Amino acid sequence: MPPPITRVVLATHNAKKLDELRRIADAAGSGLQVVGLDEVGTYPEPAETEDTFEGNALIKARAAAAATGLPALADDSGLEVDVLNRMPGVRTARWAGAKASDEANRRLVLAQIDDVPDPLRTARFVCAVALVLPDGTEYVLRATMEGRIALAESGSNGFGYDPIFVADGNTVTNANLSPEGKDAISHRGKAVRAMVSRIAGLNETAATQEGR
């Protein structure tokens, strides 16, 4: 039985993602210490070659666990727009080009559905979170946030497509929500909370086995 998980590396250099995961883990009372790649050294990062969020999350988590010797978390998240045949999908971060900015990606999505009426602008954010332990054990969880694409950008919080996404039950974009408000309903918030719960369960099992 592997030892309890108290420290994990998040396979990202994205400071906003790291802050978000730490915030969610702390709110869940997990006691986990979450470190980013910038804190544990560099290694050749793998190409995200899979055509599913789950596959790409596993690629990143496997590489981080192998390079650092720590339990590794990685997420792969993206936007699915129904009238775009659920694209951008796994190409969400590079929809307007390999080195496109968040703003360029948002502009392209808005332009592509410019003539689509509000009722048909349904979309969702998807997040797959992978946990890979140093012994090779793997877990993957998936969550979604349903909503629609706004007619124009609004708000300055969040990142990525937040300024053009309105979650079901809301009248404003994610970029108008507080960080805590977004965490409560977001795809990543749901997936991370579920993974934190899974880690807690693994730790309880480890403690029980050790006490026998």
pLDDT tens sequence across 35-89: 999 898 788 889 999 999 999 999 999 999 999 999 999 999 999 999 999 999 9
Region 115-125: mean pLDDT is 97
User: Which architecture does CATH list for 7-211?
Assistant: Alpha-Beta Complex (3.90)
At a CB cut-off of 8 Å and minimum separation 6, what does 68 contact? 9, 40, 41, 43
162 is catalytic: no
Residue position matching structure tokens 């629609």: 148
Distance CA 10, CA 7 (A): 10
Whole-number percent of the chain with pLDDT over 90: 69
CB 58 within 8 A of CB 138: yes
Residue position matching structure tokens 């006490």: 211
Residue 194 pLDDT class (50, 70, 90 cuts): very high
Distance CA 209, CA 73 (A): 24
Round to the nearest angstrom and report the end-to-end CA distance of the chain.
12
At a CB cut-off of 8 Å and minimum separation 6, what does 100 contact? 94, 108
Between residues 164 and 41, which one has the greater pLDDT? 164
Tokens of 78: 């993206």
**Catalytic position from the list 76, 118, 162, 183:** 76
Q: Please, is 132 exposed, middle or buried when counting C-beta atoms within 10 Å of its C-beta (0-12, 13-18, 19+)? A: buried
